[in-house]
């Protein structure tokens, strides 16, 4: 295992298990392996871009998962005293 793949796997370990084992995570590992194989400059640029986008998507999904049930409930409850216009 080379540097980019190691870094990708380390990052995936910080995510919730269902994301770390999902198809997007598998794509991240594949992209990392392809980058580790020393592609041509043009291919490397494209691979890095795709890797950044996939990691960003995973990060966004992980943030959505961090919302607890209590936070989700409170966000959905209307509080008239705090609504605009009152």
Q: What are the pLDDT digits (tens) for 21-66?
A: 999 999 999 999 999 999 999 999 999 999 999 999 999 888 876 6
pLDDT of the residue at 63: 83
Q: For the chain, give percent helix, strand, coil, nearest 5.
A: 75, 0, 25
pLDDT of the residue at 62: 87
Cα(27)–Cα(45) distance, integer angstroms: 16
pLDDT at 71 over 80: no
Structure tokens at 27: 């794509």
Mean pLDDT of 1-28: 94
Look up the pTM and report it: 0.72
Structure tokens at 9: 């796997």
Cα(61)–Cα(8) distance, integer angstroms: 16
Confidence of residue 76 (pLDDT cuts 50, 70, 90): low
pLDDT of the residue at 64: 73
pLDDT of the residue at 12: 95
């Amino acid at each position: 295992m080379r540097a980019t793949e190691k870094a990708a796997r380390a990052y995936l370990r910080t995510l919730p298990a269902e994301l770390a084992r999902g198809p997007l995570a598998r794509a991240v590992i594949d992209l990392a392996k392809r980058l580790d194989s020393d592609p041509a400059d043009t291919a490397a640029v494209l691979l890095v871009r795709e890797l950044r986008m996939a990691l960003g998507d995973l990060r966004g999904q992980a943030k959505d998962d961090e919302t607890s049930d209590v936070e989700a409930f409170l966000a959905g409850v209307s509080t008239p005293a705090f609504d605009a216009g009152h």
